[in-house]
Amino acid sequence: MSIQSINPATNEVIKIFEEMSETAIDQAISKSVETFTTWKKSPFSTRSELLHKVAGLLREKKKDLAKLISLEMGKLVSQAEGEIKLSAEIFDYYAKHSEGFLQDKILDPVHGQALVRCSPIGVLLGVQPWNFPFYQVARFAAPNIMVGNTILIKHASIVPQCAIEIEKIFLEAGAPSGLYTNLLITGKRASALVADNRIKGVSLTGSEAAGAIVAAEAGKNLKKSVLELGGSDAFIVLEDADIDKAVEWAVVGRINNNGECCIASKRFIAVEEIANDFFEKLKVKLAELVVGDPADPNTQLGPLSSEEAAVHIADQVKRAVAGGAKISLGGKRVDQAGAYMQATVLTNMLPDNPVYYEEFFGPVAVFFTVKNEQKAIDLANDSPFGLGGSVFTQDIERGKRVADQIDTGMVFINHPTWTQADLPFGGTKGSGYGRELSELGITEFVNKKLIRVSELSDPF
C-alpha cells in the first residue's frame, strides 16, 4: 500500500511513498532495542548535546521546514516557522533541565534510608498527528530521549515528507541508528505494534477513536499509555472583560492553524450584558480574513489539511443546520480548488442537535449567550471533552475562581489555550490522560524505582 503526500491548497499529489514491509518494521524495532541497551547508559551530557544539535538544525533549516509543513498540511508559512521555533525550544528545554528533573528523590522513612530513582523503560512508540508535524514529535521525543528511552514514530500518513525529514535531522545531529526511527506505515498497522513485547509504552495524539483502539491494545498488553485526544475548548467572556481584546484573541484562538488545533477555542460563551457587542465584532473580524494560498504571506486563512477534512467539516455544518442551528457567517466551502472552508459562525446550537457534542476541527465557531457566570461555567463543562479553555475578565481573582470550576486539563485567563515547553499539556474526560511538556512530561515513561537501605536491626 502507498502513502501519498498531497498539497491541500490544490489537492494535487506531490509524492508517493511505499509502506515499510513487515521485515523492515521488525528490523527497526530490533535495532531500537539494541540501541536502548547502550543509550540508557549514556551520560546526560551526551543526550543533552544531541538535543541541542537537533534544536540548532531546526533553527538552521526553519524556512525550508516551514515550507514543507505548509505544502503537506496547509499551515500558513508564518505559523509553520513559529512551529519550528517552538519545537527547537522544546529540545533545548529538555536538554537543559532533564538532569535536574530526573535527580533522585530522597525520602525520609521512619527506619533506614530510601530514595526514588527514575530509570528508562525501553522502546516507546509515538503515534503522532498531522496538524503540528514537528511540535507534536518534539514534545514526545525530547523528554523520553533524555530519560534514556529509544523512540519509534508512526507519523500521520498525510505528512510523510515531514516525518522523513525529522529522522534525517536526528541522524545529522549525530544520533545513533535506532535512537529515533520513523515508521512509514498506516494507523491500523501502528495499533497492532502495541502488542509487540519489545515496545514498552505508547503515546498517541489524535482522535478519540484512535485513542480508544491504542488504549485498549496497551491495556490488554499491560503497557503504559498517554493519550492527547480531541477538544472543544470553551472561550468564556464575562461582562467585565475588555471586549475588543477578547475579540482579537477569539479570532486567534479559533483560526490559528486554520482552526485545526485540539486546543483551539471552539465554543464561544458570552454573558448577555456584552454578548451582542462581542458577537457582532467577532463576526466582522472573521469576515475580513483573507483566504488563500498558505505560502502567500498575505493569507490569513489557508486550506484544511485535506479534502477529506474539508468535506467532513462542511458536512458537520450541514448536519448542525438540519438539527436547528443557524449560520450567522460563512457555512460553505470556498469556491476554488483546494480543501478550503469559509470562516463560519453557528448560533442556536442546542443540546438536542446531533453535532452539539462534536468537535469542529476547522474554522467554525459556535456562539452561545448565557445569563451569568454560573451558566457559563455549566455550559463550558457540558462537553465530553476536557482539554483546555479560556476565561476573559479584568478581575483576575474572579478568573481564577471560574477557572477552578472548569473541568479541563488547562485553563488560560485572558488568553486562548496555548502551549510552551515549561507548561504541562494534557486533558481529562474524552480528551485523554497523562501530561506532556514541563517537568511532568518527562516522568510518564520512567520506572520510578524505590531503593531502600535498612539496618539489619530494623523491624520488619
Residues assigned a catalytic role: 228, 262
Distance CA 47, CA 316 (A): 46
Strands 364-370 and 344-347, by their bridges, are parallel
Which residue in 95, 91, 144, 141 sits closest to 118, CA to CA? 144
Q: Residues 238, 399, 282, 388: is their CA dihedral positive or negative?
A: negative
Grid cell at residue 175: 544520533
Whose grid coordinates read 531502600?
452
At how many degrees (to 10) do helices 44-60 and 62-73 cross?
Answer: 70
Whose grid coordinates read 514541563?
438
Residues 6 or more apart whose Cβ sits within 8 Å of residue 94: 51, 142, 143, 145, 146, 421, 442
DSSP-assigned letters across all residues of 331-357: -SB-SSSSS-B--EEEE---TTSTTTT
Where does residue 218 fall: left (phi above 0), alpha (psi -120 to 50 degrees), or beta otherwise?
Answer: alpha
Which residue in 278, 363, 379 sits closest to 329, CA to CA? 363
Strands 385-386 and 389-392, by their bridges, are unpaired
Distance CA 326, CA 310 (A): 20
Grid cell at residue 71: 505544502
**For residue 56, how many C-alpha atoms fall within 13 Å in the half-sphere facing its CB?**
10
Judged by DSSP in three states, 311 sits in helix
Q: Residues 65, 68, 73, 79: is their CA dihedral positive or negative?
A: positive
Grid cell at residue 50: 544531541
